Chains A and B, each alone.
Chain A
Amino acid sequence: MIGHDIFVPAPLLVVSIGIMVMLAATAWRRSVGRGFLCATGMLLLAITVVGHHTGKVPDGGDSLFVQDRWTACTAILIMFSTLCIMLMSWRDAGVTREDEYPLLLMLGTLGALAMVFSANYMPFFLGLEILGVSIMGLVTFGHRAVPGHEAAMKYLILSGVSSAILLFGIGLAYGVTGSLRFMPPIAAGAVPAALPVAATIMILAGMFFKLSAVPFHMWLPDVMEGAPVPVAAFVAVVSKIAIFSALVRYFGTQNQPPFLDDILCGVIILTIMGGNLMALRQAGFIRLMAYSSIAHMGYLLIAFVCPGRLQSGVVSVYLAAYTVNTLGVFAAMDAFAIPGGPDGRVVAQWKGAFSSRPFLASVMSLMLLSLAGIPPGIGFFAKFGIAAAGVEHQRDLLLCFLIIGSIIGLYYYLNIVRTMMAAPALPSVKLNRQMRPELTVLVIVLSMIVVIGGLFPARAIHPFLPPPVAPSGTGDGATH
């Protein structure tokens, strides 16, 4: 057998083994708690082995996977987010006895990791599909069966369409270059010049669909609204990190091909303005977070079109800040929910939260302010980094829209804080609150990350910064 010389990044291997172990445990006796324990243990193990791999690193462009500090950085972010989401949903899934839940979360993580590590179209596409199919199952969990099924159906159809576009693009790229290497096709020989352009645009359209950039954003708010809160966090965080990581890997750190520049600028402006303007009118908290996540993807794309010294550092800091803040918001929302009481999915339910639930309200304010980019949080430095990258490349137009978008964002984030500060409408009823120690711990840890990352950015963040990303074709080991 050839098992000994196959190059596999260790986290991928550990997570797949974890899934097999969970399946075996399920076959022996079905138990939600054991599934969660097993998944958590395997994820922790996978985080510790990031950066290792089996087999020898293949030379040349023939390998399926790639491993460098950029993959390590995004893989850690993905697994950290899944861990947080496991903690968030531990109690709920335990009540409803759904032991498929941790299994699907792990499968989704495996798909996201496959996308992050891929250096070839095939693992990338398969990872995308594994992630998509798992999310489709996850969206229907919980008691809210009807909106859940509707959301899952929407996701299935729209993600099928976008996968078809992506696959068509990949097919054209293969036709142009004759290789499945994960990089933009370059015209060679007798192929017409329009072919690589069409291939790149189709692949980009498929990726933007999954990233929910604005002309392709329709599915995200509906899907997130139909899903349980932890799954909404999974959709907003894990799938975004994975696809963005793949996008940066795909185009590498060089300048984008010239025909893409106008398209990218248009998409960025539309995404920032569209996400922010539509978030203004939302009364549902989850829909608001969905639109705000669209706007944040727009900011991230600014860093993506400014290749250079700053790029991968800026992108990873922003991704980390976005992940921690979004997870914090959703964790606070999950902790706010009381069985039989308000579930925190509507902004109006948070009215007077500062007097009735002061701890949660302060955490929520901290997270929202950090998302808006106000100094004590890590979000400020992330946004500052993006602005710095934009200034370095003199992207004046995009910077203008970054500022306009941030101002609009400030309005709707602060509006929630204002709602929480208002006097409670009803005299506070003592509802029987469930003690959920794991959620309290999670919320405290996330707030500490936000504050420490915001106060000491250089010391806290610098050691984790990856060097500029090498495009998958040129092998690994690009250094400063």
Chain B
Amino acid sequence: MHALALLAACVTVVGAIMVITRRVAVHAVLYLVVTLLALATVLVMLGASFAAMLEIIIYAGAIMVLFVFVIMMLNLGQPDSAREKEWLRPRAWLGPGVLATIVCAELLYCTSPLSGAAPVPAAITVHDVGADLFGRYVLVVELVSYLLLAGLVSAFYIGRNRAGGR
């Protein structure tokens, strides 16, 4: 169990390093997806399956789609077909593919009966998370909402100002 978690953590770190060293934004996004999936695997092994699900649904799902949209809208200029051919060469898929295979194999090994009774820590359920969030930590939730508000207002102001200045 320990070794598996460490392996998934290594995949996360390698993926993250690849994200910040890629020159093409789409390739970075590919690695980012793998990084998030590997991170979710680590969370599953820690028993935080709910956090892992959120990680996949929100980050790997929703936010990645947003990233791809932004990249598509910003990279105008070249003709689409040539650009996509350039982005999606097989070599670009190789690295993320290998990392994703490692994570996938790990998950399969964990779920298969061959691995024996792996001692999973007591799982944290949705009920626990919800009860804590809206019980003890309700003020923290409120503070997070103010943090989002501050980010929203700042981003809105900076964006509007830049757009007007051009």
- A residues at B contact (CB < 8 Å): 2, 6, 8, 16, 19, 23, 62, 64-65, 98, 100, 103-104, 107-108, 110-111, 114, 122-123, 126-127, 129-130, 133-134, 136-137, 140-141, 145, 149, 152
CB distance A107 to B161 under 8 Å?
A: no
B residues less than 8 Å from A133 (CB atoms): 147, 150-151, 154
Q: How far is the CA of A122 from the CA of B149 in the complex (A)?
A: 18
Contact assessment for A6 and B162 in the assembled complex, using a CB-CB cutoff below 8 Å: no
B154 to A126, Cβ gap below 8 A? Answer: no
For A8, the chain B residues whose CB sits under 8 A away are 139
Q: How far is the CB of B7 from chain A (nearest CB, A)?
A: 20
With contacts A104-B154, A137-B154, A149-B162 taken as known, whether A123 is within 8 angstroms of B149 at the C-beta atoms is: no
Task: List B117-166 residues whose CB lies under 8 Å from chain A.
Answer: 135-140, 142-144, 146-147, 149-151, 153-158, 161-162, 165
A2-B135, A126-B147 known; A137+B140 contact, CB < 8 A: no
Q: Which 8 A-B pairs have the closest CB atoms?
A: A137-B154, A126-B143, A107-B150, A133-B150, A100-B157, A134-B150, A130-B147, A122-B140
* B interface residues with partner A (beta carbon < 8 Å): 135-140, 142-144, 146-147, 149-151, 153-158, 161-162, 165
Q: Would you list 25 pairs from A and B whose C-beta atoms are within 8 A, ordered by A residue?
A: A2-B138, A8-B139, A16-B146, A19-B149, A23-B149, A64-B140, A107-B146, A107-B150, A107-B153, A108-B150, A111-B146, A111-B150, A122-B140, A123-B140, A126-B143, A129-B147, A130-B150, A133-B150, A136-B154, A137-B153, A137-B155, A137-B157, A140-B157, A149-B162, A152-B158
Q: Which B residues are in CB contact (< 8 Å) with A129?
A: 147
- Given A16-B142, A64-B139, A137-B155; 7 other pairs, CB 8 A cutoff: A16-B146, A65-B139, A111-B146, A123-B139, A129-B147, A133-B147, A152-B158
Tell me whether chain A's interface is mostly helix, strand or loop, or mixed.
helix
* Residues of A close to B135: CB separation below 8 A: 2
Please pick, from A6, A62, A100, A141, the residue contacting B138 in the complex, using a CB distance under 8 A: A6
Q: How far, in angstroms, from A127 to B153 measured CA to CA in the complex?
A: 16
Partner of B165, one of A23, A111, A126, A145: A145
